Chain A
Amino acid sequence: MEMIDKSKKTFSVKSFFLRWEVLLLLIFIVYNIIIIFTTPYYLDINNIFDMTFIFTEKGLVALIMAFIIITGNVDLSVASIMGLSSVAMAASYQAGVNIWAAFLIGLLIGTSAGFLNGMIITRLSLPAIIITLATYSFYRGIAYVILGNEAVSGFTKKFSYIGQGYIGNSPVPFPLIIFLIIAVISIIILHRTTFGRMVYAIGLNEKAAFASGIPIKKIKLLLFTLSGFMSGFAGMIITSRIGNTRPNIATGFELEIITIVILGGVMITGGVGNMWGVFISIVLISTIRYGLGFHNVPGQIMLVVTGGLLISSILINNFLKTFVSNRVLKR
């Protein structure tokens, strides 16, 4: 016992710097210092606010994805749900439905898609990864069935406010505010409530959580449904921002969203992670995109960057873990 005690005390300062969020923050600062000095107009306030347009959709879904990954599950179907709900909304609008009713239909379709995921996973005790891999294709497939190769555009002006509007005359985008509100709520729920505690418990030891009376199936079902809802909402934002939609809208977003969460220090095996880390990670990935955009780096390079970040963040995380545990053992 004494041994463990000692290592704890001497470690407190170092362990602060070994904390993932702190490391991320350092990376963020260093990257930004470099990019600020090499890029004119980087610090332009309007540019910075406008940059947030590209991350709010993914950021919103990433917040819920963090909860799901902390429970030890994953939702691979989020981007397909974004696509499906966007297409459902557009198709209803095209069929003459009022734009806001179509908006609600989009949300409803997204929520139902998430609910269906959750039902299959919890009722049949099947692994989320394989079920959402199936619905990843299923939902996207339905989007194609609905619209084929068509694109739908020409939504009303009011609808475009959701994805492109600003608050009053300020340079602050409307979606940014929505994102910040939900981010704060997520941080509070995960770190300050019994629900958050249960989410961690499920990820750390599902059996023990179950035996302690935690309604694991209800929580999982709720989270997957929420994920569907938020993906649907993100689908609405992106449709509004771009002003049109196709069945392939938001393709590949699931990769970036999962990357954001993992990069934020959430362990893919569940039970470990921090909403602050996810938040910093969202901002970090967006500034990287934003910065590279100034240097005319093509979008496909971002594929390599995101994939590389995903892999290297886990490698570094694993390395740090063995490093720390070796140090503890040696003492």
Chain B
Amino acid sequence: MAKKDNNFKKTDTGNSSSLMLKFAGFREMGIFVFLIILVIVISIRSPVFLTFENIYDIGLDTAILAIIAVGEMMVIITRGIDISVGTGLGLSGMVVALILAENWWIPPWLAILMGIAVGAILGSFNGLLIVKGKIPPIIATLGTMSVFRGITFIINFQVAGGQWVSAHNLSDSFKAFARSTFLKIPNLILIAIIIYIIFYYFLNHTVTGRQIYAVGSSPESAKVIGINIDKITFLPYLFTGMLFGMGGVLWVSRYTAAQTDSGTGFEFTVITAVVVGGVAIAGGSGSIFGILLGSIIIGVINNAVHLIRVSPFWKLAIYGFIILLAVIVDKAISRRINKALLERRKI
């Protein structure tokens, strides 16, 4: 409570404690270094890793993850969590795919908008349960996680008699969309880049974006200042919904299929990417660059598992281990920072 200084000057810039304090602002740096080391190690083990084709593949496989990670990060910044993103993605993808299967004329961009709309409805539902129903985020989204999955099944059963939507049900233009390129960049990656630019701007340069950080940093202070906490808490869930809705449609295009179990466990991959990207699970901090790096790390590991011919069954265990590691390292760092703060006192 009583952290104080004997003089107003920021003391001693050279010693280790203030270095520690500086490091607090450059979390992304550490993540970046980790990524570089990872890349070096893998490329020594497997020369194919750094080929253009492989990097291209990593990009395609990471794009959807990276897109949804943006939403999840905003939710976690406001001290929440959304574990319905995997099944939400599956449901949005299924709904749009079923419509597309009957309407081949629908252009890909319209399909994406439809996905966003479906996702917005699902996301608002989450947001309302949490803001108006006062249900803790983890429980509310745990509930909707299974509700979404159940509805995916029911819709699929009612509309298509339980037949999954597969490649021959979809139009060629839609199937080609994810891979076809614009200015030599695949659409999937291009969309991810646009999303990152939009949300970089939103989170760092608009009032609402900054208020998201404020609410997560100190809800009590935010209330005193008169920030509309309900609105700011609701928005991240809505955005996450829109993003996983979009992700669902892109998923169908990328893998040319919509199954009732699409996206199972994907929430876990997303949360792992976000936590690895340096977003504090306690809320208040996290950056777009961080989660971009986090998503790429996950993409690289995924890719490496195939390249180095580790059994794919290791993936789940590795994710779990990495998230444990990230949380523990983060705790150690914040302990060091607090200690460094205290040591500025001359006692």
The listed residue with most A CB atoms (<10 A of its CB), out of B81, B149, B316, is B316
Contacts of A145 in B (CB 8 A): 311, 313-314, 317
Give chain A interface residues in 268-324, CB to chain B under 8 Å. Answer: 268-269, 298, 300-308, 310-311, 314-315, 318
Please tell me which stretch of A9-17, A43-51, A136-144, A185-193 contacts chain B, meaning at least 4 of its Cβ atoms lie within 8 angstroms of it.
A136-144
Knowing A144-B317, A300-B154 touch, does A120 contact B324 (C-beta < 8 A)? Answer: yes
Cα–Cα, bound, A262→B136 (Å): 12
Cα–Cα, bound, A303→B140 (Å): 14
Contacts of B282 in A (CB 8 A): 127
Question: Which chain A residue lies CB-closest to B325?
Answer: A134
Verify if B150 is at the interface (C-beta below 8 Å from A): yes
Contacts of A262 in B (CB 8 A): 139
- Give which listed residue, B81, B133, B271, B315, contacts A141 with CB less than 8 A: B315
Total A-B pairs, Cβ < 8 A: 136
- Give which listed residue, A125, A142, A247, A303, contacts B147 with CB less than 8 A: A303
Contacts of A148 in B (CB 8 A): 311, 313
- What is the size, in residues, of chain A's interface with B at 8 Å between Cβ atoms? 46
Taking the closest CB of chain B, its distance from the CB of A292, in whole angstroms, is: 13
Knowing A124-B331, A138-B320, A148-B311 touch, does A303 contact B146 (C-beta < 8 A)? Answer: yes
B320 x A139 contact (CB < 8 A)? yes
Verify if B244 is at the interface (C-beta below 8 Å from A): no
Cα–Cα, bound, A314→B201 (Å): 37
Verify if B240 is at the interface (C-beta below 8 Å from A): no
Residues of A within 8 A of B (CB): 74, 120, 124-127, 129-131, 133-142, 144-145, 148-149, 247, 252, 255, 258-259, 262, 268-269, 298, 300-308, 310-311, 314-315, 318
25 residue pairs of the A-B complex, CB under 8 angstroms, read A120-B324, A125-B331, A130-B323, A134-B321, A135-B320, A137-B265, A137-B320, A138-B319, A141-B315, A255-B142, A255-B146, A259-B143, A262-B139, A268-B138, A298-B153, A300-B153, A300-B154, A301-B150, A303-B146, A303-B147, A303-B150, A307-B144, A307-B147, A315-B133, A318-B135
Q: Given contacts A303-B147, A307-B147, A308-B147, list 16 more A-B pairs with CB under 8 A.
A: A120-B328, A134-B323, A137-B316, A137-B323, A140-B316, A141-B317, A141-B321, A149-B313, A255-B146, A300-B149, A302-B150, A304-B146, A307-B142, A307-B144, A311-B143, A318-B134
A-B pairs, 4 with minimum CB distance: A141-B317, A138-B320, A141-B316, A304-B150
Residues of B within 8 A of A (CB): 81, 129, 133-136, 138-140, 142-147, 149-151, 153-154, 157, 260, 265, 268, 271-272, 275, 281-282, 311, 313-321, 323-324, 327-328, 331
